[in-house]
Amino acid sequence: MIEVENLTKRYGRTTAVDGISFRVRKGEILGFLGPNGAGKTTTMRILTGYLPPTEGTARVAGYDVFEAPIEVKKRVGYIPETPPLYPDMEVDEFLDFCAKIKGIPGPSRKGKIDEAVDKTRVGDVRGRLIGRLSKGYRQRVGLAQAILNNPDVLILDEPTAGLDPKQIIETRELIKGLGGDHTIVLSTHILPEVSMTCGRVVIINKGKVVAEDTPENLTRRLRGAGALRVDVRGEATAAAEAVRSVPGVVSARPRPESAGVTTLEVEAEPGRDVRPDIARAVVSRGLDLLALHQVGMSLEEIFLHLTTTDAARAEAPPAAPRSEEVTA
Amino acid sequence: MTSLRNVAAIVEKEWRHYFGSPIAYVSLTVWALLFGIFFYFAFSFFLRESMMAAQQMEFGGGPKMSLNELLIRPVMHNMAVVALFLAPMLTMRLFAEEKRQGTIELLATAPLTDLQIVLGKFLAAAGLYGLMILAGLVDLALIWHYASTPPEWKPVLTGALALLLFGSCFLALGVFVSTLTRNQIVAGILSFCLFLGVWTLGWADDPGAGPVMKAIAYLGVTTHMEDMVKGVVDLKDVVFYLSFIAFGLFLAHQSVQSQRWRA
């Protein structure tokens, strides 16, 4: 349904999106993950036909976003991070305007609006001014607008940003319910959201795809990268030094010691079991080894691992990508 | 067909905004009020003049008095000045506010072309402005009701057309200026300065002016009103206004498109 090939977007000298490629199958919910300024919003804007790409192609529902933006726009429902709403319009009035500019013909307009209102459960605020609605309702009115013409593809930029926990759960349920009929791309930096709603995840950082898989596979694959927790009785620097001396250990970060016990968070090279060596190293330095756990990486850790360690390892990048807040 | 429907949807939305807020009522009222005031002053002047003329009749007849020339035309000219002030108010928020609210993204991701958006917004403003002119003409209807020899109606019509075309030039430029900023006050002030600049170009029109000054004067929006207000519709004036409007809208369209490339 969506094919993105080597997509690049530059703003002057800054590169917001740097040669990313991915595909989304029909009916799939794809999570688009990345820190702020990673290029999520830019990519999504390109997919909606709003921004032209600098290089590469993106095809949505078979139409090239650059060559046939109008055809793409007819098939895509989009909500930016802050839903674009007119505060001085009533909900019904707003949806009617949206239906008109989306080219829904007069006779079926009423029905489509009712349908979208039902799906997003905004029925009880239909006559209210949008400016007076709570954030949760605004988000839903934005969603109602996006699904009005029953688009093949829905693109949601941080649909749960700024909502309270109850609204977040409701919105997630809503999105899950829309999957299947619609192909959905949603961006977020809330990680549980991804494991709960998305079938597949694309993680991008500094404009590049750093990982692409199902949430389960990502977790499984990175578990091998072996995060360890080591409890040592003794002084923190000595303990950290001991662990770091073991070949295969990438990093060892001591947590603040309490009651003479230091807990080290150790990261080892993937596929290498360093536990016996760590045990020996600690003991041989006269420190007491109290515990040694293998810790599975949560999605949060994977995310941080992928988006921060890569950046730290790379030579200092010439310029940080412009954050989305600036361009929004 | 669809493109027409899209433009109509934008026009309707803008009109809902104009009439859902005080904007439309305030501008209609101010326009009608000022039209009335100028009409009153011009009328008193006309009355004094005609009284003097009547006195001169005893000495063999004074100059011929024309309602069109002495009453209607000055009012039309004064209203052109009012248009200079009101036009920025009608256009300043058109794009600036969409940009500030982020709703420009809604329009830009809907299956609309930039041209349809620009045209819709311009026509909405021009429509409201047209309504204002009509509201002013109600005053003139009084003359027909009371005057013993009613004035010619054709110059009134062409005068109204001149006002419409002349003001629409401002509106088209105003739409363009509104695309440049997300702050509607900035758009308003810039538009006003620009309009004033275009207006003063006409002051270069002097009988003794050289070819350069003549050319500059030709670009002034006021110079092309004269004949039309007198009742003469010259094709070159109409073409001038229409191309001025087209140029303003072209700039607006280019600006909207280029922002998409840079945004």
Query: Could you read off the pLDDT tens digit of each residue along chain B, which spans 263 residues?
Result: 788 899 999 999 999 999 988 999 999 999 999 999 998 898 888 888 888 877 776 666 556 677 777 788 888 888 999 999 999 999 999 999 999 998 999 999 999 999 999 999 999 999 999 999 999 888 788 888 887 777 788 888 888 999 999 999 999 999 999 999 999 999 999 999 999 998 888 787 777 778 888 888 888 888 888 888 888 888 989 999 999 999 999 999 999 988 877 65
Structural tokens at position B107: 């329009």
Interface check for A89 against chain B (CB to CB < 8 A): the answer is yes
Digit-by-digit pLDDT tens for chain A (328 residues) are 889 988 898 888 888 888 889 888 888 889 888 877 788 888 999 999 888 888 899 999 889 988 888 999 999 999 988 889 999 999 999 999 999 999 888 889 999 999 999 888 888 999 999 999 988 889 889 999 999 988 999 999 888 877 788 888 888 888 888 877 889 998 887 777 777 788 888 888 888 888 888 877 776 665 555 577 888 887 778 888 888 888 878 788 887 777 778 888 887 776 677 888 888 888 888 888 888 877 655 666 666 666 665 444 444 343 433 333 333 3
* Cα(A238)–Cα(B28) distance, integer angstroms: 82
- Which of the residues B94, B97, B106 would you substitute to probe the A interface, choosing the one with the greatest number of A C-beta atoms within 10 Å? B106
How close B62 gets to chain A, by Cα (Å)? Answer: 60
CA proximity to B156, closest of B222, B221, B66, B235:
B66
- Which of the residues A94, A100, A153 would you substitute to probe the B interface, choosing the one with the greatest number of B C-beta atoms within 10 Å? A100
Find the helix or strand (DSSP H, E) in which B201 lies: helix B184-201
Interface check for B102 against chain A (CB to CB < 8 A): the answer is yes
Q: What CATH number does the domain containing A144 carry?
A: 3.40.50.300
Interface check for A328 against chain B (CB to CB < 8 A): the answer is yes
- For residues A71 and A142, the answer to whether their CB atoms sit within 8 Å is no
Residue A38 domain flag:
yes
Domain co-membership, A174 together with A235? no
Domain co-membership, A79 together with A45? yes
Domain co-membership, A247 together with A210? no
Q: Which tens digit of pLDDT belongs to each residue from B11-52? A: 999 999 999 889 999 999 999 999 999 988 988 888 888 888
The ipTM, to two decimals, is 0.85
Question: A102 and B111: CB-CB below 8 Å?
Answer: yes
Question: B111 and A70: CB-CB below 8 Å?
Answer: yes
Q: How many helices (H) and strands (E) does chain B have?
A: 12, 0
Using a CB-CB cut-off of 8 Å, the residues of chain A touching B5 are 100, 103
The residue among A154, A189, A220 that closes a domain is A220
Give backbone dihedrals phi and psi of B39, rounded to 5 degrees, phi first.
-65, -40
Structural tokens at position B121: 């917004």
Interface check for A80 against chain B (CB to CB < 8 A): the answer is yes
Domain co-membership, A129 together with A249? no
Using a CB-CB cut-off of 8 Å, the residues of chain A touching B106 are 84-85, 98, 145
Question: B238 burial class (0-12, 13-18, 19+ CB within 10 angstroms)?
Answer: middle
Question: A70 and B113: CB-CB below 8 Å?
Answer: yes
Interface check for B115 against chain A (CB to CB < 8 A): the answer is no
Domain co-membership, A21 together with A157? yes
Long-range Cβ contacts of B138-142 (<8 Å, 24+ apart): B138/B32, B139/B32, B139/B35, B139/B36, B139/B39, B140/B39, B140/B72, B140/B75
Q: What CATH number does the domain containing A262 carry?
A: 3.30.70.1340
Residue A317 domain flag:
no
Model confidence, pTM: 0.80
Residue A45 domain flag:
yes
CA-atom Rg of chain B in angstroms: 21
Question: A50 and B2: CB-CB below 8 Å?
Answer: no
Domain co-membership, A108 together with A238? no
Question: A102 and B17: CB-CB below 8 Å?
Answer: no
Specify the DSSP class assigned to residue A81.
Answer: S
Please give the mean pLDDT across all residues of chain A: 81
Domain that holds residue B13: 2-262
Q: What is the pLDDT, as a whole number, of residue A307?
A: 65
CA proximity to B228, closest of B68, B59, B47, B71:
B68
Structural tokens at position B144: 């027909």
Using a CB-CB cut-off of 8 Å, the residues of chain A touching B10 are 101
What is the count of structural domains for chain B? 1
CB atoms near residue A316 (< 10 Å): 6
* Cα(A305)–Cα(A250) distance, integer angstroms: 12
Domain co-membership, A97 together with A216? yes
Q: What is the pLDDT, as a whole number, of residue A301?
A: 64
Domain that holds residue A261: 226-296
* Cα(A324)–Cα(A186) distance, integer angstroms: 16
Question: A71 burial class (0-12, 13-18, 19+ CB within 10 angstroms)?
Answer: middle
Interface check for A327 against chain B (CB to CB < 8 A): the answer is yes
CA proximity to A242, closest of A283, A214, A207:
A283
* Cα(B70)–Cα(B257) distance, integer angstroms: 47
What are the C-alpha distances in Å from A258 to residues A233, A236, A262? 10, 10, 7
Domain co-membership, A123 together with A247? no
Domain co-membership, A213 together with A233? no
Using a CB-CB cut-off of 8 Å, the residues of chain A touching B21 are 88
Domain co-membership, A167 together with A269? no
A292-311 as b/e, with b when 16 or more CB fall inside 10 Å?
beeeebebebbbebbbeeee
Domain co-membership, A265 together with A165? no
Total beta-carbon pairs less than 8 A apart between chain A and chain B: 70
Query: What residues form DSSP beta bridges with B241?
Result: none
Interface check for A86 against chain B (CB to CB < 8 A): the answer is yes
Interface check for A102 against chain B (CB to CB < 8 A): the answer is yes
Interface check for B1 against chain A (CB to CB < 8 A): the answer is no
Domain co-membership, A98 together with A196? yes
How close A250 gets to chain B, by Cα (Å)? Answer: 41
What is the count of structural domains for chain A? 2
